[in-house]
Structure 1
Amino acid sequence: MQEFAITKARRVRKREVFGWAMFDFANQAYTLLIITVIFGDLFTRVIVGDGPDYRLGNLLWSIALAISYLLVLVAAPVAGSIMDATRSRKRFLMASWLLTVFTTATLYWVEPGLIILGMVLIVISNFGYAIGESFIASFLPDLGPPERLGWISGLGWALGYVGGLVATAFALGLLGDVSAENFERIRWVGPFAAAFFLLSALPTFLFLRERGPRRNVAGRLQLSMGFRRVAKSLVTLRQRPELRDLFVSIFFLMAGIYIVISFTFIYGSQVIQWDESTRVAMFIVTQIMAAIGALGFGWLQDRIGAVPVYRFTLLFWTLAVLGIFLTPWLAERLTGILGRPVEAQQVFLFVGALAGLCLGSAQSAGRALVAMMVPVGEAGRWFGFWGLSGRAAAIFGLMGIGLLQMWLGLANAILFCLLLFFAAFVATWRVRLPDRSGTPRSLVP
């Protein structure tokens, strides 16, 4: 029988928490430099370069990310089940880390017109990064008692935003702006992100422990066993509506968040038409606010309850997206009220700060909820399903926004996110933490 995740005997292991959180610190260099701030913009405007509206570039970017998430969707639950059975979470995590580092470094050779090469490298590198998120999350239930997991999860996410801030600040300072004229410098973003991820994640592999002795199982048997356990897990989800609905809510939440992460700076460039100083300010403000949100809501989650805090962040997201959509209108209204010009990019910066506040908090709260609801010895497979929910959401969200912006334009298609966040809130209706007395010790036979 497996030890259930809500056992109170576990204590916070500070050195392990630090090592675990440093992986969040390290991998944000990939998220921000490659997906959000620099390479995504570089791919659409320079590598593809179908101006003035860049609709083809936006669609191809969505397709590349969606393919990578489709691969994670298939692989994450099976890999998680194998990790549990063989006690090899750390090896799987290291493999995903090295794959991401190598393929990110090779983005240096993607030049204007080499669209297929760029898409292939994004598919592989983002697969390694995304499945690695599931692997590192599976260690969370080991790091402390359930009443501290909200804060620990929030600490990891907050440290991640600090890492992203440091990495991107150095990258923007060293490499300059995203433009065809500056291509020879900005193409170094891949090697820079790879080096940052490589070095900053070293504490993770020094301090994070693998629980239990390693079990040697033949490769073919591992795969067969992984699929069998995934099938049993699907049966369990039908029997536990609160856990199933949490994964459904995470699906809608992550669909919206992946759109925001992948298109915020593209939206600012194409719709708001911001200048370089506002772009830099947006990055700094959202990173700081996201770190504050992750830490603050993580602390609050341990005191008033994980479910209420998670629901609040979802409602806050709907307001933030509505503010993004209404940015030009708000700028006009404020100009009339104040009697002086108010630019849309100024309003967009303020709205971005609100979105940043709930960016880390919503993801951290969802991750902590999963850790509180699953057995420690089965964390790999259930965080595989957490990864499946998130990556299926990425495919749905990115393909949805990609097709909608082809039809309606990016400015109107952003309302799709509002519907996604509201659906995530509705899906939490039956989500409850398990009773700490009498809960079965194992979810899957």
Structure 2
Amino acid sequence: MLRRLNPFRGLPNPLEVWAWGMYDLANQSFSILINTLFFAIYFTQHVAAHTGKADLYWGIAVSVSNLLVVIAGPVIGAVADYTGAKKQGLFFFYVLCVGFTGALGFVEPGAVLLGMLIYIGGNFSLACGENFLASFLPEISTRQNIGRISAIGWTMGYLGALLILPVTLLITGLDEITVDEFRRVFVLAAVWFLINAVPTFWFVKERKRREQAPQAGSLVAIGFSRLGQTARDAFRYRHLIRFLMCFFVYACGVHVVIYFAGIISMREFGFGPFKLTMFMTQLTVAAGLGAALTGVYQDRLGHRRTLHALLCVWAVSTLGVAFAPREPEHEWVFWVVSNFVGFGLGGIGTASRAMVGLLTPRHKTAEFFGLWGLAYKSAAVVGPVLFGAVSASPLGMRWALVMVSGFFVTGFVGLFIVDEREGSASADEAERLEASTFGPPPTEQPQRP
């Protein structure tokens, strides 16, 4: 029985897949404790509260960090593919993110500019590292199990969040959080990331060999040159491009949940620190379940069909949050509906990442996952800003959530023009042309049906 529950059962490279997933587990300390919960609250309530524009400054920091990723992400990915140095790139941004995360513990109340700069550096490093991590997925998987392995990583990420949230309560307690307690949480986030990501660098292998570099030109120029070639190859990978366009639209809604979940629960439903932590724990459990079930069924149902089902869950559940009663005696409605939001959050992440991997030839992994990161971070710039604008207007928070549901409906419709079979066949053809640039995969790559 226990053997059947082992998520790594039957994989040819279980240790490497586990080590790859450990990075997702490790970086949740930044995603949950910094982005969604404690630093956002600390910055708006303590660091920038005296300015009267705390939400604006927080929004600027979030947008700038994601804008930097939009600019740099594809170039970093192209350079990594050209040099065969994805693992080195991942390690570089891992060290940067750990450093910036720990430095947040030294941001004192009133230090607005310092807090913004450190956060921007940390969030930028986190996102660039995620791009490098995702680019290993087609190399450690086969076409038949890519959805399962993607789900393992995503589920381990939510497991990391589930493990670290109760630990933070040991620091903050159940009452109002003090400034010193906030800052200790940021140091905890850095230590958690530092320790738990170590297996990734021990056991994940770098398979792609360095390509012969031109006699002249910097790596940045080479990166831009490869991006230009990617644009010229757009017809061959047209289904990937179509998917990324759809992904951008519904990712706008996903980012609203990431950056506004705490704000919505506190402002609309009056949650204090303890309820907020319990709410995020529930959301994390539901997200982990969503990621795990997606991994089990995605390869059987098909990638597009799975995404359609998850987008339906998203659209209905965000409408549920929008029209849930705000009275304390009906608070249970919000708790119930939020389970579906969490389920959709976990499922949509692993399903989208697996779809990109399915449509990507292995010699373009870092570059195309850089494009995936570009679409995702572009959505992080656009979605939260639109949500904030509508929420601040006479329409209010409720109709802003209706708009978010519209993002998911639009993505649902757009996916009908994405043909996963034709797209994966194009990736196979490109791989055959570039086969000489790769070492042997974990197992022989079976042909697609």
Normalising by structure 1, report the TM-score. 0.89
Q: Which amino acid aligns with 1:307?
A: R
- 1:414 matched to 2:396: no
- Cα distance in 2 for partners of 1:287, 1:178 equals 22
- 1:316 matched to 2:316: no
- Cα distance in 1 for partners of 2:92, 2:253 equals 28
Q: Which amino acid aligns with 1:350?
A: V
TM-superposed CA distance for 1:398, in Å, is: 2.0
Tell whether the 8 Å contact from 2:69 to 2:377 is kept in structure 1 after alignment: yes
TM-superposed CA distance for 1:184, in Å, is: 1.4
- Cα distance in 2 for partners of 1:387, 1:444 equals 26
Q: Which amino acid aligns with 2:345?
A: L
2:192 corresponds to: 196
Once the two structures are overlaid, the 10-residue window that deviates more, 167-176 or 284-293, is 167-176
Tell whether the 8 Å contact from 2:21 to 2:152 is kept in structure 1 after alignment: yes
Q: 1:164 aligns with which of 155, 161, 166?
A: 161
- 1:373 matched to 2:370: no
TM-superposed CA distance for 1:252, in Å, is: 1.6
2:32 corresponds to: 32
Structure 2 residue runs of 5 or longer lacking an equivalent are 1-10, 435-449
TM-superposed CA distance for 1:411, in Å, is: 4.5
1:4-19 superposed matches below 5 A: 12-19=12-19
Task: Indicate the SS of the match to 2:430.
Answer: coil
2:251 corresponds to: 254
TM-superposed CA distance for 1:198, in Å, is: 0.6
Tell whether the 8 Å contact from 1:236 to 1:444 is kept in structure 2 after alignment: no
TM-superposed CA distance for 1:437, in Å, is: 5.8
Tell whether the 8 Å contact from 2:239 to 2:359 is kept in structure 1 after alignment: no
Tell whether the 8 Å contact from 2:165 to 2:277 is kept in structure 1 after alignment: no
TM-superposed CA distance for 1:166, in Å, is: 1.1
When residues 368 and 342 of structure 1 are mapped into structure 2, their CA distance, relative to the original with a 3 A threshold, is: same
- 1:109 matched to 2:106: yes
TM-superposed CA distance for 1:444, in Å, is: 10
Tell whether the 8 Å contact from 1:41 to 1:178 is kept in structure 2 after alignment: no
Task: Indicate the SS of the match to 1:111.
Answer: coil
Q: 2:330 aligns with which of 343, 347, 351?
A: 343
When residues 114 and 374 of structure 1 are mapped into structure 2, their CA distance, relative to the original with a 3 A threshold, is: same
Task: Indicate the SS of the match to 1:146.
Answer: coil
- 1:89 matched to 2:86: yes
Tell whether the 8 Å contact from 1:252 to 1:420 is kept in structure 2 after alignment: yes
When residues 366 and 437 of structure 1 are mapped into structure 2, their CA distance, relative to the original with a 3 A threshold, is: closer
When residues 437 and 47 of structure 1 are mapped into structure 2, their CA distance, relative to the original with a 3 A threshold, is: closer
- 1:396 matched to 2:392: no
- Cα distance in 2 for partners of 1:373, 1:416 equals 30
Tell whether the 8 Å contact from 1:249 to 1:424 is kept in structure 2 after alignment: yes
Tell whether the 8 Å contact from 1:256 to 1:397 is kept in structure 2 after alignment: yes
Q: 1:126 aligns with which of 123, 128, 131?
A: 123
Once the two structures are overlaid, the 10-residue window that deviates more, 248-257 or 379-388, is 248-257
Tell whether the 8 Å contact from 2:208 to 2:363 is kept in structure 1 after alignment: no
- Cα distance in 2 for partners of 1:443, 1:423 equals 35
For residues 199-226 of structure 1, give each alpha carbon's deviation from its aligned partner in whole angstroms, at most 9, with x where no partner exists. 0000000010001344585995211111
TM-superposed CA distance for 1:238, in Å, is: 4.7
TM-superposed CA distance for 1:113, in Å, is: 1.8
Work out which structure has the larger RCO, using CA pairs closer than 8 Å and 6 or more positions apart in sequence.
1
Structure 1 residue runs of 5 or longer lacking an equivalent are 1-10, 332-340
- Cα distance in 2 for partners of 1:48, 1:350 equals 34
Task: Indicate the SS of the match to 1:347.
Answer: helix
Once the two structures are overlaid, the 10-residue window that deviates more, 371-380 or 219-228, is 219-228
1:334 corresponds to: none
TM-superposed CA distance for 1:276, in Å, is: 3.8
When residues 185 and 437 of structure 1 are mapped into structure 2, their CA distance, relative to the original with a 3 A threshold, is: closer
- Cα distance in 1 for partners of 2:230, 2:267 equals 44
TM-superposed CA distance for 1:416, in Å, is: 2.8
Q: 1:383 aligns with which of 369, 392, 398?
A: 369
TM-superposed CA distance for 1:169, in Å, is: 1.5
For residues 15-63 of structure 1, give each alpha carbon's deviation from its aligned partner in whole angstroms, at most 9, with x where no partner exists. 1101110011001110000011211122122222279xx8x32232222
How many positions carry a matched residue from both structures? 421
- Cα distance in 2 for partners of 1:139, 1:177 equals 40
TM-superposed CA distance for 1:402, in Å, is: 2.9
TM-superposed CA distance for 1:403, in Å, is: 2.7
When residues 306 and 175 of structure 1 are mapped into structure 2, their CA distance, relative to the original with a 3 A threshold, is: same
TM-superposed CA distance for 1:72, in Å, is: 0.6
Tell whether the 8 Å contact from 2:50 to 2:110 is kept in structure 1 after alignment: no
- Cα distance in 1 for partners of 2:400, 2:309 equals 24
1:327-338 superposed matches below 5 A: 327-328=324-325
Q: What's the C-alpha RMSD, in Å, of the aligned pairs?
A: 2.4
- 1:425 matched to 2:412: yes
- Cα distance in 1 for partners of 2:361, 2:118 equals 36
- 1:136 matched to 2:143: no
Normalising by structure 2, report the TM-score. 0.88
2:150 corresponds to: 153
1:358 corresponds to: 344
For residues 218-260 of structure 1, give each alpha carbon's deviation from its aligned partner in whole angstroms, at most 9, with x where no partner exists. 9952111110110121222255432111101111222111110
State the identity %.
Answer: 30
- 1:440 matched to 2:426: no
Q: Which amino acid aligns with 2:266?
A: S
- Cα distance in 2 for partners of 1:100, 1:149 equals 27
Q: Which amino acid aligns with 1:19?
A: A
For residues 178-214 of structure 1, give each alpha carbon's deviation from its aligned partner in whole angstroms, at most 9, with x where no partner exists. 85x6111221122111110010000000010001344
TM-superposed CA distance for 1:154, in Å, is: 0.7
Q: Which amino acid aligns with 2:238?
A: P
- Cα distance in 2 for partners of 1:212, 1:443 equals 15
Tell whether the 8 Å contact from 1:12 to 1:143 is kept in structure 2 after alignment: no
Q: Which amino acid aligns with 1:358?
A: G
Q: Which amino acid aligns with 1:343?
A: H
